[in-house]
């Protein structure tokens, strides 16, 4: 079920409005500047229609990839009723993409659980956001912010026609009601996506490797990048791989990173500038 909420004014004659729904175990929200048709801005009907497209896309992917649904293709693979070689094209495509990321991160990101079960949840939410963004652009929507449980992708500006960036907040892992900082996305900047991963909200759910042990690793990592899958995968990989993976990410990808230790100390790359 969609829910509508208000945000701060976006520009003269427009206001930021958001529609939300629940899927993939989290809340997905689409925010757009809304005005009157005479001003050339989408109204509430357009926001509702755009959100419906996003919701359908998320639900279709969840029906295929969720391991919490016993009838999903992912669950059939997990229990051995289906072999990957006989799986759908989209399942094999996402596995191939996840495997490329495993190679690129030297195993810090992996599409399998420690018990060997294929689990593509580390890439599917980011993929869903990516596909939703493509759909929104195809609908002619140019100014929007899509947030799927902390995975954020933006287009345009909250002030249509300007270069003003969107601002994505980073939550304090020790106090989920407090923001540590905000990072600009979109506008004239090269980063349009941001993802946060860690144990603060969902507990220990990432398999750590090497020096990324629970004692030495990070409790939360935020990555800003040009695309949401890169941001999402690298945030997970840095949590799993610790400081060596953070250094690898900074050296090999155009990203901005903010990583937080359990004691509250932080590491940030030079590109991570607060808004």
- Quick: pLDDT tens for 158-181: 999 899 999 999 999 989 889 999
Rounded Cα–Cα distance for residues 253 and 232 (Å): 13
pLDDT at 44: 78
Per-residue pLDDT band at 274 (split at 50, 70, 90): low
Measured in whole angstroms, how far is the alpha carbon of residue 69 from the centre of its chain?
22
**Residue 275's pLDDT is what?**
56
Average pLDDT, the chain: 89
Q: Where are the beta strands (DSSP E) in 94-159?
A: 144-148, 151-155
Q: What is the DSSP pairing of strand 175-185 with strand 166-172?
A: antiparallel
| pLDDT value of position 162 | 92
Structure letter (DSSP) for residue 8: E
pTM, two decimals, is: 0.89
Model confidence at 95: pLDDT above 50: yes
Cα 64 from Cα 188, distance rounded (Å): 36
Residue 257: name the closest of 239, 173, 188, 240 by CA: 239
- pLDDT > 90 fraction of the chain, expressed in percent and rounded: 76
Cα 99 from Cα 112, distance rounded (Å): 10
pLDDT for 43 equals: 74
pLDDT confidence of residue 25: 94
Model confidence at 41, pLDDT cuts 50, 70, 90, reads low
Q: Which residue has the higher pLDDT, 12 or 225?
A: 225
Of residues 203 and 101, more confidently modeled: 101
Mean pLDDT in residue range 44-72: 95
The whole-angstrom separation of Cα 242 and Cα 66 is 27
256-260 vs 193-198, strand pairing mode: unpaired
Q: What is the tens place of the pLDDT at every residue in 209-239?
A: 554 444 458 999 999 999 999 999 999 999 9
CB 86 within 8 A of CB 95: no
Per DSSP, the three-state class of 103 is helix
Element housing 242 (H / E): helix 228-252
The structural domains of the chain, ordered by start, are: 1-162 (3.10.520.10), 165-275 (3.10.520.10)
């Amino acid at each position: 079920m969609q829910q509508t909420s208000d945000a701060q004014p976006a520009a003269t004659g427009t206001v930021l409005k958001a529609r939300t729904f629940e899927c993939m175990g989290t809340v997905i929200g689409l925010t757009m500047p809304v005005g009157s048709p005479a001003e050339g801005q989408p109204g509430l009907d357009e926001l509702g229609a755009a959100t419906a497209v996003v919701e359908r896309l998320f639900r279709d992917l969840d029906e295929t990839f969720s391991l919490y649904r016993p009838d999903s293709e992912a669950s059939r693979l997990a229990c051995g009723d289906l072999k990957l070689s006989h799986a759908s094209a989209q399942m094999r495509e996402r596995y191939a993409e996840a495997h490329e990321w495993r190679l690129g991160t030297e195993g810090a990101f992996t599409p399998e659980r420690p018990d060997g079960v294929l689990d593509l949840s580390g890439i599917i939410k980011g993929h869903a956001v990516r596909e939703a963004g493509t759909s929104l652009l195809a609908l002619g929507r140019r100014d929007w912010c899509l947030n799927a449980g902390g995975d954020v992708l933006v287009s345009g500006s909250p002030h249509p026609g300007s270069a003003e960036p969107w601002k994505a907040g980073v939550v304090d892992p020790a106090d989920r009601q407090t923001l540590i900082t905000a990072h600009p996305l979109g506008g004239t900047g090269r980063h349009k996506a941001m993802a946060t991963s860690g144990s603060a909200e969902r507990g220990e759910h990432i398999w750590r490797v090497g020096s990324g042990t629970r004692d030495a690793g990070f409790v939360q990592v935020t990555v800003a990048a040009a695309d949401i899958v890169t941001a999402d995968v690298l945030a997970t990989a840095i949590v799993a791989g610790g400081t060596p993976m953070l250094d690898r990410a900074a050296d090999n990808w155009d990203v901005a990173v903010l990583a937080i230790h359990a004691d509250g100390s932080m590491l940030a790359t030079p590109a991570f500038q607060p808004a």
